[in-house]
A and B are shown apart, each in its own frame.
Chain A
Amino acid sequence: MSTVETPTPPTNALLASEQQSSSPADLARGYLRRLASGDIGSLPIIIGMVIIAVIFQRANSNFLTPRNFVNLITQMAGTTMIAYGVVFVLLLGEIDLSIGYVSAVCGVTVAMLLRDPTAGWQWYTAIPVGLLAVAGIGLLQGAIITLVRVPSFIVTLAGLLAWNGVVLHLIGSGGTVIIQDKVVVGLANSYVPPDGLISWILLAICLVLYAVLQFMRFNSRKARGLRPRPLLLIILELIVLAVAGIVVVAVCNQDRGVPVAGIILLVAVVLLTYLARSTPFGRYVYAVGGNAEAARRAGINVARIRIIVFIMSSTLAGFGGIILASRLRSVDTNAGGGNLLLDAIASAVIGGTSLFGGRGFVASAVLGALVISSVDNGLGLLNLSSGDKFIITGIVLLIAVIVDALSRRRQQQAGIA
Chain B
Amino acid sequence: MSDQPLLQMVGVSKRFGAVQALYKVDFEVKNGEVMALVGDNGAGKSTLIKGIAGIYSFDEGETLFNSKQVHIHSPHASAELGIEVVYQDLALADNLDVVANMFLGREKSGAFWQLDEDGMEKASIETLVSLSVSTLRSVRLPVAALSGGQRQAIAVAKAVMWNSKLVILDEPTAALGVAQTRQVLDLVRRLADKGLAVVLISHNMYDVFEVADRITVLRLGQRVGLYNRKEVDQREIVFAITAGALQTVPGMTDNEHS
A interface residues (Cβ-Cβ under 8 A, vs B): 12-15, 37, 220-221, 224-227, 278-281, 283, 286-287, 289-291, 293-295, 297-300, 358-359, 411-412, 414-415
Contacts and interface: CB of A to CB of B under 8 A. Distances in A.
Given A14-B125, A226-B118, A294 B91 contact: yes
Given A14-B136, A279-B114, A291 B92 contact: yes
Interface in B123-154: 125, 128-129, 132-139, 142, 144-146
Of A220, A290, A299, chain B has the most CB atoms within 10 Å of the CB of: A290
B113 A280 contact: yes
A220 B118 contact: yes
Contacts of B125: 14-15, 226
A403 B1 CA distance: 57
B145 A290 contact: no
A279 B109 contact: yes
30 contacts: A12-B129, A12-B134, A13-B134, A13-B137, A13-B138, A14-B138, A37-B145, A221-B118, A226-B118, A226-B122, A227-B138, A278-B113, A279-B112, A280-B109, A280-B113, A280-B115, A281-B113, A283-B115, A286-B95, A287-B93, A290-B93, A293-B91, A294-B92, A294-B93, A294-B104, A295-B93, A298-B91, A298-B106, A358-B93, A414-B145
B94 interface: yes
Interface string B88-108: 010111111000110011110
Contacts of B136: 13-14
Interface residues of B, number: 39
B169 to A, nearest CB: 15
Contacts of B95: 286, 289-291, 358-359
Of B104, B106, B109, B118, chain A has the most CB atoms within 10 Å of the CB of: B104
Interface of B: 76, 89, 91-96, 100-101, 104-107, 109, 112-115, 117-119, 121-122, 125, 128-129, 132-139, 142, 144-146
B134 A415 contact: no
Contacts of B138: 13-14, 227
- 7 A-B pairs with the lowest CB-CB distances in the bound complex, closest first: A298-B105, A290-B93, A290-B95, A358-B95, A415-B144, A294-B91, A298-B104
Nearest to B125: A14
Contacts of B133: 12, 14
A279 B115 contact: yes
A293 B114 CA distance: 25
Nearest to A288: B93
B118 to A, nearest CB: 5
A358 B104 CA distance: 14
A13 B134 CA distance: 6
A39 B137 CA distance: 18
Given A15-B129, A281-B113, A291 B118 contact: no
Given A15-B129, A412-B144, A415-B145, A225 B93 contact: no
B104 A295 contact: yes
Nearest to B128: A14
A40 to B, nearest CB: 15
Contacts of B101: 294
Nearest to A358: B95
A227 B122 CA distance: 10
Of B115, B135, B139, chain A has the most CB atoms within 10 Å of the CB of: B115
B168 to A, nearest CB: 14
Nearest to B94: A290
B114 A224 contact: no
A359 B146 CA distance: 17
A364 B234 CA distance: 58
B238 to A, nearest CB: 33
Contact of B96 (A227, A281, A286): A286
A174 to B, nearest CB: 45
Contacts of B96: 283, 286-287, 290
A278 B122 contact: no
Nearest to B87: A297
A300 B93 CA distance: 13
A28 to B, nearest CB: 18
B175 to A, nearest CB: 12
A289 B95 CA distance: 9
B159 to A, nearest CB: 12
B152 to A, nearest CB: 14
Contacts of B146: 415
A9 to B, nearest CB: 12
Contact of B107 (A12, A280, A293, A294): A280
